[in-house]
Amino acid sequence: MVTDLASEHLAFRKVLRSFAEKEIRPRAAQADQSGTYPEDMFNAMRTAGLLGLCIPQELGGSGGGMTALCLAIEEVCRYCNSAGLMLLLTRLATGPLLLSSNHTLRDQYLPEVASGRLRGSFCLTELHAGSDVNQIATSARPHGHGFVLNGTKAYISGATVADFFIVWAKTQTAAGADEMAAFLVDRDTEGLALGHIDEKMGVRAVPTAEVVLSDCYVPSDHRISDSEGGMRHLMASLNSARPGVAARGLGLAEGALAYACEYARNRTAFGTAVIDIPAVQQMIADITIGIEAARGLVHRAAQMVDRGEYGLEAAGMMAIAKCFATDLAVRASSDCLQILGAAGYMSDHPMERFYRDAKQLQIVEGTNQIQRVIIARAVRDGRLTFAD
């Protein structure tokens, strides 16, 4: 197979594959059924050194960057998308710190995340403001030597186990204009509480919950966006995490296809193996084409992030990778479930779980409709030209 990965990444993939088979695969179904956060999986990923992949070596991580993190996410998601989300959260909650000029907080928290001593959540969405992030109502009012935060964040992944929260809120510039800003709020801060814990369709082992801020005082040194440019900081944080969401879709599609092919080899209908039935072969071929294309996109997007390309110029490519790989995950899980027939619908097999998990990926971190808006604007404005 032709690949764009360096030899050390290919070697790393081999290690990851056997790790995922041994540590993630056996626990995936039970973690989904119980709907409780799998501390044992988290500990296995910690022991394997996977929690600091995207964190630079000088900050206690392995410095593997987004490319290595995407490989790890892809491999664990062949069996368990919740495990992939646990890995993605190591980047989603640290991205705003990595991109921040507040080096004190960065230097303090990132080594803790890399070692697994601390976990973070990314708190942007509110019940009435998802895609339209400008409509968030959470406020950060200057008070004394800090800010008072008020508002409620919704659907926050990993909130029940988070030790700190990256909270996006509206504040004001010196000139009095509205300004987006991120704050790091520790779990035990007075005025921060968890609200409703969601009952959800998929990715059930990583709970989502409301995070409620009621007159929550945060010192000014816990502000991580600069006094101007908060929206740019938010967009760069989201753009640079998108390859990780794409990798979740890619891994899920690979896992679904591998499982369906194995089943179809051993199942017969009308005197032939199901895998030899032309209608089934069409589905297998289409998913395989999608996987090969998605892999190229995920690796390209991840490598761009590792080169520091995640601003407006790169937004279109990040969106293409996220959109394509997560749409693929939904199609692949549906078709692979179909290949198993009734068995695919039952929880004895992982396909119904993959099908439920895949749907989340088209919604999170910018819905796929929003990704298409980003792509179309990038084409319109000449940022995606296909000249190279």
Residues that bind ligand FAD (CB under 6 A): 121-125, 130-131, 155-157, 200, 203, 208, 360, 363-367, 369-370, 373
* Separation of alpha carbons 314 and 322, rounded Å: 13
Q: How far is the CB of 279 from ligand FAD (least distance, A)?
A: 31
Residue tagged active-site, from 74, 112, 254, 365: 365
Task: Tell me whether residue 297 or residue 370 sits nearer to ligand FAD (CB atom).
Answer: 370
Q: How far is the CB of 123 from ligand FAD (least distance, A)?
A: 6
Residue among 31, 21, 20, 9 at smallest CA distance from 353: 31
* Distance of closest approach, residue 144 Cβ to ligand FAD, in angstroms: 28
Length of the chain in terms of residues written: 388
18 vs 135 by CB, closer to ligand FAD: 135
210 part of the active site: no
CB burial readout 162-174, b (16+ within 10 A) else e = bbbbbbbbbbeee
Residue number, 60 or 243, with CB nearest to ligand FAD? 243
Written in H, E and C, the secondary structure of the chain is CCCCCCHHHHHHHHHHHHHHHHHHHHHHHHHHHHCCCCHHHHHHHHHCCCCCCCCCHHHCCCCCHHHHHHHHHHHHHCCCHHHHHHHHHHHHCCHHHHCCCCHHHHHHHHHHHHHCCCCEEEECCECCECCCHHHCCCEEEEECCEEEEEEEEEEEECHHHCCEEEEEEEEECCCCCEEEEEEEEECCCCCEEEEEECCCCCCCCCCEEEEEEEEEEEEHHHECCCCCCHHHHHHHHHHHHHHHHHHHHHHHHHHHHHHHHHHHHHCEECCEEHHHCHHHHHHHHHHHHHHHHHHHHHHHHHHHHHCCCCCHHHHHHHHHHHHHHHHHHHHHHHHHHHHHCHHHHCCCCCHHHHHHHHHHHCCCCCCHHHHHHHHHHHHHCCCCCCCC
Q: How far is the CB of 281 from ligand FAD (least distance, A)?
A: 33
Residue 254 structure tokens: 């690979």
Q: In angstroms, what is the minimal distance from the CB of 149 to ligand FAD?
A: 15
Closest CB to ligand FAD among residues 23, 352: 352
| C-beta nearest to ligand FAD: residue | 130
Name the residue nearer to ligand FAD (CB basis): 15 or 379.
Answer: 379
Give min distance, CB of 326 to ligand FAD, in A: 12
What distance in Å separates the CA atoms of residue 12 and residue 5, rounded to the nearest whole number? 11
Amino acid of residue 308: G
Q: Shortest distance, CB of residue 232 to ligand FAD, whole angstroms? A: 18
Comparison of 151 and 366: residue with beta carbon closer to ligand FAD: 366
**CB closer to ligand FAD out of 112 and 126:** 126
Q: How far is the CB of 89 from ligand FAD (least distance, A)?
A: 8
Q: Which residues contact residue 199 at a Cβ distance below 8 angstroms, ignoring those fewer than 6 apart?
A: none
User: Toward ligand FAD, which CB reaches closer, 13 or 377?
Assistant: 377
Helix axes 81-92, 39-47, angle to 10 degrees: 60
Residues with a catalytic annotation lie at 365
